[in-house]
Amino acid sequence: MAMKRAATSAVRALTSSGNSAASSVFTRHLHASPGSKKIVGVFYTANEYASMNPNFVGCVENALGIREWLESQGHQYIVTPDKDGPDCELDKHIPDLHVLISTPFHPAYVTAERIKKAKNLQLLLTAGIGSDHIDLKAAADAGLTVAEVTGSNVVSVAEDELMRILILVRNFLPGYHQVINGDWNVAAIAHRAYDLEGKTVGTVGAGRIGRLLLQRLKPFNCNLLYHDRLRIDPELESQIGATFEEDLDAMLPKCDIIVINTPLTEKTKGLFNKEKIAKLKKGVLIVNNARGAIMDTQAVVDACSSGHIGGYSGDVWYPQPAPKDHPWRYMPNQAMTPHISGTTIDAQLRYAAGVKDMLERYFEGEDFPAQHYIVKDGELASQYR
């Protein structure tokens, strides 16, 4: 209960700011007209796990915990996991839905084609952080509003990144596999297990998640570097002990460990290709909880196979869910998982509350907290430009 209260308090603090004075475009597109609205949510299926935790709200079965509230106000709320293919359930509702809610963990890819067919669509909400599953330019051109629950799972992702760094540095997974396979070979683990202390860790991107990661790494006495389009506040930078690297190509060869914390944009798509990876230190460890498409899939496979990348871990793939033949499943020296870092129970409570808050504001024709907007009035948020 204490955890739930803490999460709820965090969401209230997160969503308490914002200007209620709506712009003319916002009013034209988001001032909900009287009557029932059709809201569609796309989430992952939990099956038997749905009933194991009353706070497990991020799945189809529990639908962010807002079904009763929406239906009590006369709105239609449809949830589905079926989002891909020409005959999927989502496409049946595209022509007449008003609001589409999706998550980065089971993303509904909102293409320009889908936007063109969605004649009643006004609002695209991301339950979580990261709206690159949406064609943002097409959304802007169509006058749609795109928003996400900024800050809702930054702690969750930063903690997960720290865990993955330690898993790779200490060569944890081979030891785990030995235990479950009935083996015992210390040398097979120890020959490439290291301490984190003294290593150079660089984050590509130092937004909310990147800054939290740097703060959590400070007690490990690492050499901390970061590259971003914006420099961290000097006082915080001094407290963390991190060094700003303006030139990404100059930073990368210095790093023993690289963490990807940048959004997926046209500029960052395929950023880590064969040429970029060749510039990295041999045996480098990479953690990517940002987006799978930032990496060239085959280039990562080749570098892990050759040993140029000593270990690769993350929870993001392209596409998602990852197909059974995705090569990252089978490459050596990987510690991959499904997309889980930002969908802890605590994070689910925060992003569910954030979605409800924005829906309430939508029904009332009120503005959202400014930091939640990804597309507003035909303009993309700065990180996606």
Tell me if 94 is assigned to a ligand binding site.
no
Any catalytic annotation for residue 291?
yes
CA–CA dist 149, 255 (Å, integer) = 32
Any catalytic annotation for residue 181?
no
Tell me if 372 is assigned to a ligand binding site.
no
Q: Which of 130, 164, 123, 80 is nearest to 318 (CA)?
A: 130
Q: Which residue has the tokens 């914006």?
A: 230
CA contacts within 13 A on the Cβ side of 270 = 4
Tell me if 228 is assigned to a ligand binding site.
yes
Tokens standing for 284? 């480098």
Tell me if 208 is assigned to a ligand binding site.
yes
Tell me if 280 is assigned to a ligand binding site.
no
Tokens standing for 65? 């915990």
Question: Do residues 103 and 128 make contact, with C-beta atoms less than 8 angstroms apart?
Answer: yes
Annotated catalytic residue within 62, 153, 171, 348: 153
Question: Do residues 84 and 321 make contact, with C-beta atoms less than 8 angstroms apart?
Answer: no
Tell me if 171 is assigned to a ligand binding site.
no
The DSSP secondary-structure symbol of 288 reads E
Tell me if 329 is assigned to a ligand binding site.
no
Annotated catalytic residue within 29, 133, 291, 326: 291
Annotated catalytic residue within 122, 171, 288, 320: 320
Tell me if 309 is assigned to a ligand binding site.
no
E runs forming strands in 6-144: 38-42, 76-80, 99-102, 123-126
CA–CA dist 202, 244 (Å, integer) = 10
Tell me if 265 is assigned to a ligand binding site.
yes
Any catalytic annotation for residue 339?
yes
CA–CA dist 256, 139 (Å, integer) = 40
Any catalytic annotation for residue 320?
yes
Annotated catalytic residue within 339, 350, 361, 372: 339
Tell me if 153 is assigned to a ligand binding site.
yes
Tell me if 64 is assigned to a ligand binding site.
no
Tell me if 126 is assigned to a ligand binding site.
no
Distance of CA 244 to the CA centre of its chain: 24
Active-site residues: which are they? 153, 291, 320, 339
Q: Which residue positions form the known binding site for NAD(+)?
A: 208-209, 228, 263-267, 289, 315, 339-342
Q: Which residue positions form the known binding site for substrate?
A: 129, 153
Q: Which residue positions form the known binding site?
A: 129, 153, 208-209, 228, 263-267, 289, 315, 339-342
